[in-house]
Structure 1
Amino acid sequence: MTFATDQQLNHDSLSRTSRAVLAIRTAVFDQWEHEVRARVEGAAQLLRPILINTMPAFYDNLAESLTPDYPRANATSNTNVAGVHGNERARTTTYSAAQVIHEYQILKEVLFRVASQSGIAFQASESQVIEVSINLAMRDAVREFSHMHEGLRHRLAATLTHDMRTPLSVVLNGSRLIEKTTSLDHAQMAASKIRDQAARLSEMITSLVDALTYDQADHLTLAPSTFDMHALALEVKDQYSDAYTGGFEVIGTPVTGFWDRDLIRRALENLANNAVKYGDGGCVRITVKEYRERMMLGVHNSGIAIPVDMQSRLFDYLRRGPTGGVQGWGIGLPYAKNVAESHGGSIAVDSSKESGTTFVIDIPVDCKPFIRS
């Protein structure tokens, strides 16, 4: 089973090298996890689902791109998955940009090492694809990592200028009163107010520092329970089957985890609605997969591709570009993104003329450690 973001089913067209790279995936990630925890500062404390992030999808994209005729020139073609990796690193870890880069460098080292140990001899052109893929992934990941932190800094500045204005004013006025008064009672009263407001400022600063390492501003409140994601996908399929003539299918395996069922269902329905609305009338496919304590929930449709320059903005803007004469993403994609991130994960998009469009919610199988009140 491939975890590539295009969620294609036909692996027979992949080259021998692509299939060989997919076959060593587990060995690569065994070594990658071990080395990242040992060599990247702060990685040793990360739970596995957070450490793994969207790396398996990137890895399988890379494997696909090693097939010369495959519609993916490198692992970042047609998808924002590397940028999503950087965004999630900014939201869920205390990493710096250098640590994000180091992870990709280790992945390249481990891939070449395990491939050599497994008897895989890359041609010069294949090695070049791997080099380019890793370099582009580092660029995309660091760019989105920086954008995420830039957004946090803007919110920090807004909070500093607004919320802290009142206690600072009390402190300044109190200090002026103490400076001028000859009354001990007035001075003690002013000092008490200064102490109280200073304590408020201290709490605010602590909260703001926490916000710099994790974005809690827009997270949803979760009511998690245990359920099978594949069974939920079948329910959504049945919901659409009678009304949509193009057909719905669900593939994959049962994955039982701990999530908010209502939120996930609404997010899945939003993605299904978009697949029907923006597809070409063909079959809509929902895929459920699990790998290394991460669950991937994909919704695929055929039809006109989403331009690459729009993919990074789909989840932040309310309108899609004029492709196919259809307007209006509405709030479906921003909502699905919020659901994914509230579960400690991400959502990525992969879209091309040849492969169609796939949105992938990629979240921990057990979201309990990542729930915030």
Structure 2
Amino acid sequence: MISDIQTKLLIVDDLPENLLALEALIKREDRTVYKALSADEALSLLLQHEFAMAILDVQMPGMNGFELAELMRGTEKTKSIPIVFVSAAGREMNYAFKGYESGAVDFLHKPLDIHAVKSKVNVFVDLYRQRKEVRQQVEALEHSRREQEVLLAQLQVTQVELEHAVRMRDDFMSIVSHEVRTPLNGLILETQLRKMHLARDNAAAFTLDKMKAMVERDERQIQSLIRLIEDMLDVSRIRTGKLSIRPSRFDLSVAVGNLLESFAAQVSAAQSSVNYRAGQPVIGQWDEFRIEQVVSNLLTNALRYGAKKPIDVSVYAQGDQAVIEVTDQGIGISEKNQQRIFQQFERVAGSHVVTGLGLGLFISEQIVAAHNGQITVRSTLGEGAMFRVCLPLEQKT
């Protein structure tokens, strides 16, 4: 409220008794009166405080009231303070005119009219409070405006993020639909073909060799569906912070070697080959299933984008870290795309036909991070890519 604003008043007179008398006249609980016996003391107080008004005696030794007023009017901090002059000189001295010229808003003659003094001080105090309140309101409005600008900027960012999320959702649903349909279509066609053979009593279609091939085809399609589902479940676990890591002690070089053996059929289907280099045992505490998942994702990408050229896989220890490197000689990744391939649903391909949900590298990075490790890529367009996974040999507790 305006009445709650505390005000400061300055009175300047070279006679202490005059200061005491004037102070007693204008002082109230909501006002603080500062007294100065000279212009120099007054200037010091003016630099320290913000005053609602100043009452100056005209005739003072040294710098007089008019000179003090001119200094106040020439200083940015004090130029707006209302000045009231007080003088015991007669009206014939024409001090009032000179006072107004010096920037005074009023001129009082001694002996002072008590009611006039109180009335004038009340007016200037009220004006000061009103200006103060308006200034506070303006500052509050300006603060509110800045807050609204920040909020608007945040809302705009949120809107862009939501639009991006919607696009990602739509793209993801389109990708899922396509990727799930592919193995399902294979299973449906296989089923329809078998039903047709059964309807025609064509037993020759179900020889042992043909049945074995059918089962292998079914298994590939089912495994493809399982991988898609597991990827989506892993993303859900990552988002909710429930991606579990169950470390156990094992030899990383042996685990990767065994995994590569299980990839033999996929390597053959991609018309590629894998060169595996592993020296001494690399033993540490990691989640074997999850690390195999990372290497599987890297190897799958290398086969997918490796242009049917040989792939190099290495496992070795370097300092206090275990290192896995998967290098292909395929289409490579541009520097711009290297910044986003670890994001969800990103599938960098150029003119290459892309399969998969675009989750493999995202999940791999999260798994490696959960092991306090790091996964990086180094690549040049047209010259292949090398993915490096670094895992601490000793897990931090």
Indicate whether the TM-score tops 0.5.
Answer: no
Q: Which has the larger radius of gyration?
A: 2
Normalised by the size of structure 2, how large is the TM-score? 0.37
